Structure 1
Amino acid sequence: MRGADLINPALPDELLDDVIRRVGSGGAKRDLDACALVCRRWRRLERASRRSARLAASGERADEVVRLVAERFTALTEVSVDERLTAAAAASGSAPRSYRSGTLHIPNRIRRRRRLPLASNLTLHIAPFPLDQPVSDERTERSCLTDVGLTHLARGCRGLEKLSLVWCSAISSTGLVRIAENCKNLTSLDLQACFIGDPGLVAIGEGCKLLRKLNLRFVEGTTDEGLIGLVKNCGQSLVSLSVATCLWLTDASLHAVGSHCPNLEILSVESDRVQSVGIISIAKGCRQLKTLKLQCIGTGDDALDAIGSFCPLLEILSLNNFERFTDRSLTSIAKGCKNLTDLVLTDCQLLTDRSLEFVARNCKKLARLKINGCQSMESVALEHIGRWCPRLLELSLIFCPRIENSAFLEIGSGCSLLRTLHLIDCSRITDDALCHIAQGCKNLTELSIRRGYEVGDRALVSIAENCKSLRELTLQFCERVSDAGLSAIAENCPLHRLNLCGCHLITDTGLTAVARGCPDLVFLDMSVLRIVGDIALAEIGDGCPKLREIALSHCPEVTNVGLGHLVRGCLQLESCQMVYCRRITSSGVATVVSGCGRLKKVLVEEWKIENVVPDVVSEVMTK
């Protein structure tokens, strides 16, 4: 019978609670919100079943908001608070957005006045403003989460297991003490960029004996005493620790970690003050290490020799900016850490082909290799990888000027499982190298080439003929690539993401082929294509209905007409960048803004939005 309630009388609380929990287990916040709106009973049960919350720490009454959340959702076990988030971004689950002077958030009152059908969280970015500097005007000051709000959270959600406090600059040790007193089940704590003193960390160690994960990246206000006090009390349970860019960190802290954290599996350390003795303590005391990421300029071969000797379970190793790190220690690691699957070497200038040969011969499980700025390495290093590492899945080479085409003959022959290849600023790489890869690595799904000045159509044709699974392609400033190569890719590879920035030989013909051959395209960067015009945008609008992001900055031939065709077909569009397109006016911007209901971000020059949202522009201009 219409209007009759057939569910509530039949289902007891236990069954209805189970239904709501199953809805929540799929991660669909919108569905949970819908359940809460059915009736008061459903709202009560939904609140009691809610396990996670993501909150913005900035805005008016931040502490009050946290208090209300803690009172109404007492069963929360996972809370993430981020000062970089707006309330709208936290609710939508979008990525954090920095507060910048060139960023405009359009208030609802202006949307109603102008009657623009905008998305609820559209952001306009004005190009001429310094986008990397915060707004300093007093009117932009906002309240933040303080120890008061953290106290409400601690007392209201005593079952809390995971707590993330990112860039919450107004909290102190006082708030952490309250967490330690009330949340005894805490297993994960993220304090990135918080100003926390030693008493807070010591209290966490004393009160949270189950703590397994701790992030202290960019944490100021504490000293070695705080971390030492923490690990002395809960070091036995700790399995993951990240301490980066903390000026206070010294070997004393690492010695304590090595002494009290025998079960540590993941460690990330970035410090200019740490010496070899601290890393040696870690190696000897934390023999369960599986992931190790180090950026310690003061350490040398002795420290890494210890890693090779005492950490046989190591699987992921990242070594960055080691000025005293030579072939000797990487050879020791290769001999002792035979389970290595991921290796990142960044700016290790003293490494040569010899050490990578030992890695290849001893670490047969290697699946991901990234070499960045190691200028002493030559083609022989990669030849060894190709011969001895058949499980390689991902290879990234960044600014490796000595590596030549011959290396890729071995990679193509021996690494048939390769799925991802990044080549950035590798000046000696030509079409021959890519042909070797295409013929041997037919499972390739992602190819990124930046500033490949010797890479052209022959490489793309070979990729198109052999790598039918390619889904992501980046060809930034590959000046020899033309419509012929791009058309071959579009015909054979149904791309999802395509970046053609700076490929100045590409015309409307090439992009038309993409539009007709890649209907699942969701991302397109066609910036700095100076001879592409409205025909390309019209074809993209007709052929790529799933497109969510497009960048067409510095395209002088694109006009308002092309934008009109684009938005009529690309109804899923969320981001549009169109800076320095001289033939696009405020009318074109209005067309994009009013025609895309899901639009979240637009990057334009200031004068082009004066007629679209003039009140907002004048407001920013006064800052």
Structure 2
Amino acid sequence: MGHSLSSHSKSTLSSPPRRSRSLSPMSPPPLRLTAPMQIAAEDSGSDSSSSFAPPARDYTQDLPDEILALVFASLSPTDRNACSLACSRWMEVDATTRHRLSLDARAALGNAAPALFARFTAVTKLALRWARGSGADSLSDYGAAAVATALPSGRLSRLKLRGLRQLSDAGLASLAAAAPAIRKLSVASCTFGPKAFVAVLQSCPLLEDLSVKRLRGLPDTAGATTSIAEDIKFPPASSLRSVCLKDLYSALCFVPLVASSPELRSLKILRCSGAWDLPLEVITARAPGLVELHLEKLQVGDRGLAALSACANLEVLFLVKTPECTDSGIISVAEKCHRLRKLHVDGWRTNRIGDFGLMAVARGCPNLQELVLIGVNPTVLSLRMLGEHCRTLERLALCGCETVGDAEIICLAERWAALKKLCIKGCPVSDRGMEALNGGCPSLVKVKLKRCRGVSYECIENLKVTRGGSFSISLDIVLEHDARSASENGAQENGQAQITALTDQMAGMDLPVNAAGAQSSTHTITRMRSVVSALRRRISRRGLNRRAVVRFAEVVGVRIAGCDGLDMIHGEWGPRVGQGRRAPRRRGVVRLGACARAHTIVELGRVTSGKK
């Protein structure tokens, strides 16, 4: 034993040190961040008679299943799927603690459902999605029945269905019958009709949240509501608290369902056809406890807004692109809904909502905390009243308001003491108005300016210095139409000169070629010239003030991957290294800089290449 130790020490003194993967008895085992597995130690000596060290210890075995489950819960679905394949214990812990499951709802899912739900017994949130370009049929009624049979009864609380084009009313009814504890149901791009929701309400008495988007099985009613109400009898939805109807060409057929929900608190009707004045009267009369209402791109007018006066508890109101609404409708809401906290109005530049409606809001809604005005034209009159009466107003956004100038910003600085966040977009304000914020709005912590050409960067820097480090302000003065008028201000000519210089620099590079010399450097430079010429054509056509200027798939055999502002270009050239169509080429990276305003090419970095 002593001889072997001395010979071993001599060999270590005479030969250079070698990295060994064997574990020393006196040193702690190295920390492994890989999956738990036994790592066999290798021979540290040259002869076969050397002893082997014990296998590395798996410290994850000391963790209880509850701690391991918490770790899995913090992982993304992809990482969690990978960890579940590490060992049998991890697979078991993952299966018994996974609460959310998203499945590809192909036709074959019905056959695989029993094995899936036998493994994942703790699932409470299930999503069935079918991709239209997958090339396979979606889940049918037969498959839905098989899934319903395999579902863990009484556990499922959320169900999401996406793109199930072959699922009918019977299929949804079978799924609802197998999950009576569902509290949230979301369906989109499916083909069943409104009658399927009758079975849902009958089978799921605990349903609280219902979202219906882009259904293709709705009847073409052309705005009629009487016949629909007579044909479809929805049972009372006593537990329903939130309903979202989006992108439905005949959403009026769901009016009886919404009206049968006396405990309804949130209602969103987005981009649905039909006249909605009368339906809103019916809904608010039967569900007066509404707290949140979103209306977007609807045919609704002042009559529909007047119906909201029955909802005394209304706190959140969104009116987005409803051109028939005027000051009269806003006044009727403000006179009755005194608890309003958030008001978003997108007037769509119709100039029908202005000072009169906003002054009524100031008088009737003292608890207002957030106000967003898009395409609305307030003046000093309404802004002064809002600042005096709404003492808790903290967030304000003014977008596309033609009447908001320096006088209005000065009014904000003098009257809005509680304002914390301010967003101004596309308004004719200048440095004079922004400088008033130096001494006003003591609670202001964040300002965002966009498309305000009258504000300079010097003014922004002065505001930062004056208000201190806790104050944040950003300015983006790039206009969308600058891309079309770039040639008028000379930006395009400057960009052309920069791109031409880039072409010359790339032509002078020592680009890599293959070892056999089959690809000449002249041919490679020609390819790179073609790439930059394509960049020049694309930028010339679209202008220089555009983000994400180019995104090429293939140009003259050289693949290009662009990024915002042309920060980097990845290129491949030369013959493929290896055999097969997927064999990689020699690769290089051209790193580019982007100007802060115009996002043009300003510098060229070093080219690197190598095999991959």
Shorter-normalised TM range: 0.5 to 0.7
Measured in 2, the distance between the counterparts of 1:164 and 1:54 equals 9
Task: Report if the CA contact (8 A) 2:558-2:571 is conserved.
Answer: no
After superposition, give the CA deviation of every residue in 1:390-438 in whole Å (9 maximum; x if it has no partner): 3333322222112222222232234345443332222x22122322345
Match of 1:374 in 2: 376
Unaligned runs of 5+ in 2: 1-53, 220-224, 487-491, 500-530, 533-546, 583-612
SS of residue matched to 1:232:
coil
Which residue in the other structure is 1:313 paired with?
A: 313
| CA distance in 2: counterparts of 1:417 and 1:302, whole angstroms | 34
* Matched-pair contact (CA < 8 Å) for 1:213–1:241: yes
- For 1:540-551, what aligned pairs fall within 5 Å after superposition? none
Bigger relative contact order (CA 8 A; separation at least 6): 1
Find out whether 1:161 has 2:157 as its counterpart: yes
2:204 matched residue in structure 1: 208
Conserved 8 A contact 1:293-1:318: yes
For 1:357 and 1:213, locate their aligned partners in 2 and report how far apart those are by CA, in whole Å. Answer: 35
Q: Secondary structure at the match of 1:322?
A: coil
Q: Which residue number in structure 2 is paired with residue 179 of structure 1?
A: 175
2:119, 2:391 → 1: CA distance? 54
CA shift, 1:346, in A, is 1.4
Alignment of 1:50 with 2:98, yes or no, is yes
What residue is the counterpart of 2:528 in the other structure? none
What secondary structure sits across from 2:126 in the alignment? strand
Matched residue of 2:251: which SS? Answer: coil
After superposition, the Cα gap between the structure-2 partners of 1:256 and 1:35, relative to the gap in structure 1 and judged at 3 Å, is closer
Greater displacement, 164-173 / 239-248? 164-173
Distance, in Å, in 1 between the alignment partners of 2:496 and 2:314 is 51
Q: Which residue pairs with 1:579 in the alignment?
A: 550
Query: Which amino acid is 2:183 matched to?
Result: T
Other-structure match for 2:47: none
Asked whether 1:78 is paired with 2:125, we answer yes
The 8 Å contact of residues 243 and 258 in structure 2, kept in 1 or not, is answered as no
**Residues 28/217 of structure 1: CA separation in 2 closer, same or farther (3 Å cut):** closer
Change (3 A) 1:234 1:193: farther
Contact 1:301 1:324 in 2 (8 A): yes
Deviation at 1:298, TM superposition (A): 3.9
- Per the alignment, in what secondary structure is the counterpart of residue 216 of structure 1? strand
Structure 1: how far apart are the matches of 2:574 and 2:494? Answer: 27
Aligned partners of 1:48 and 1:74 also within 8 Å: yes
Q: Please say if 1:421 is aligned against 2:422.
A: yes
Percent sequence identity is: 21
Distance change >3 Å, CA 182–CA 304, structure 1 → 2: same
Partner of 1:288: 289
d(CA) in 2 for partners of 1:172 and 1:610? 50
Check conservation: 1:62, 1:143, Cα contact below 8 A.
no
- The counterpart of 2:240, out of the listed 233, 238, 241, is 238
Output the amino acid matched with 2:187.
L
Q: Distance in 2 between matches of 1:335 and 1:529?
A: 58
Paired residues for 1:497-576 under 5 Å = none
Q: Give 2:305's aligned amino acid.
A: L
Report what 1:352 is aligned to.
354
Task: Name which one, 1 or 2, has greater alpha-carbon Rg.
Answer: 2
**Aligned-partner Cα distance in 2 for 1:501–1:27:** 42
Aligned to 2:182, the other structure's residue is in SS state: coil
* Change in 2 beyond 3 A, CA 1:314/1:354: same
1:169–1:282 Cα change, 3 Å: same
CA gap 1:421/1:218 in 2 versus in 1, 3 angstroms: farther
| CA displacement at 1:318 relative to structure 2 | 0.8
Name the structure 2 match of 1:497.
Answer: none
Mapping 1:88-99, distance limit 5 Å: none
- Classify the secondary structure of the residue corresponding to 1:206: helix
CA distance in 2, matches of 1:34, 1:275: 50
Distance 1:577 1:7, change over 3 A: closer
1:231 to partner: Cα distance = 8.2
Counterparts in 2 of 1:403 and 1:410: CA distance versus 1, 3 Å:
same
**Paired residue for 2:87, among 9, 33, 39?**
39
Partner residue in 1 for 2:517? none
How many pairs does the alignment contain? Answer: 463
- Deviations, residues 564-612 of structure 1 (Å, cap 9, x unaligned): xxxxxxxxxxxx945289xx9999976x79xxxxxxx7898xx986749
SS at match of 2:213: coil
CA deviation string 1:120-144 (max 9, x = no partner):
xxxxxxxxxxxxxxxxxxxx84554
From the superposition, tell whether residues 154 and 463 of structure 1 become closer, same or farther in structure 2 (CA, over 3 Å).
farther
Amino acid aligned to 2:334: A
2-side partners of 1:78 and 1:279: how far apart? 32
RMSD (CA atoms): 4.5
What letter is aligned with 2:91? R
What SS class does the counterpart of residue 220 from structure 1 fall into? coil
**Amino acid in the other structure paired with 2:402:** P
